[in-house]
Amino acid sequence: MEKRATELKMALLCIFLSLILGMSAALPQDMSGKMLVFPQQTNSAHVRLTTSRQNLGAVTVCMRYFTDLTRGTTFFSLATPSLFNAFLMDKPSPKNVMYVSVRNVHVDFQGQDFQLNRWQSVCSTWDAASGLVQLWLDGKPSSMKFLTNTNLTGPMLIVLGQEQDTYGGGFDINQSFVGMISDLHMWDSVLSPQHIDYYSQKFTFPAGNVLNWQSIEFHTTGRVLIQKDQS
């Protein structure tokens, strides 16, 4: 009887501690002046980002990255339970091409000036009203291409460092990101060309209202480090 009471107390203590740790992990962090470092190829290490949004009719995602990868890699992966590539930014190997996927359908943007061992900014926009997608690399726009007029709906899970081939999983080491990422922002609208230019030049721009690097909720799994920003 005494042993059972002790086990019950320990179980309650574990639940209490996990709740406290969970609440701590969910608190937004100010990542100003900091970067995420993905130091090795892996099929497990990643960052999960938190958003309460379950309906998006437009998207802009911007980030800065640094890598020496010549193989394909993934920059940003947003999945819902029914769409593992709900909104995806990735680069195949080894061409200067980038894919943007919305609702599991992708378009490719040719002739992009990807450079190794150099900080670059990349932004992608999509608007359900027009169905148009556009890519911006270091503030330079691509041509606009049509993808889909249908909104993104459902619980959204955002991952950095891996591509989701299932909701929250299905990671492939050959699609993993190795390098550094900083200044991630996401909006529920198409950012103006002027503001995208301001972002690329580190001028003042409106912070993301879906993901904001200055107040962002995330959880790291595996070897992902937070270091002083070098961009």
How many angstroms separate the Cα of 157 from the Cα of each of 67, 70, 80, 134?
24, 27, 6, 22
Q: Could you count the other beta carbons within 10 Å of the beta carbon of residue 167?
A: 17
User: What pLDDT, in 10s, does the model give residues 93-118?
Assistant: 878 999 999 999 999 999 999 999 99
Quickly list H helices, the chain: 2-26, 193-200
Min mean pLDDT across 23-37, 75-89, 200-214 is at: 23-37
Is this prediction's pTM over 0.85?
yes
Residue indicated by tokens 């919305």: 102
Percentage with pLDDT > 90 across the chain: 85
Report angle CA 124, 213, 18 to the nearest 5 degrees. 120
H or E stretch covering 223: none
Residue 3: per-residue pLDDT = 44
- pLDDT of 136 > 80? The answer is yes
Question: Does CATH place domain 34-228 in 2.60.120.200?
Answer: yes
How far apart, in Å, do the first and last CA atoms of the chain sit? 61
Contacts of 69 (CB under 8 A, 6+ apart): 116, 177, 178, 179
Least confident of 6-15, 129-138, 139-148: 6-15
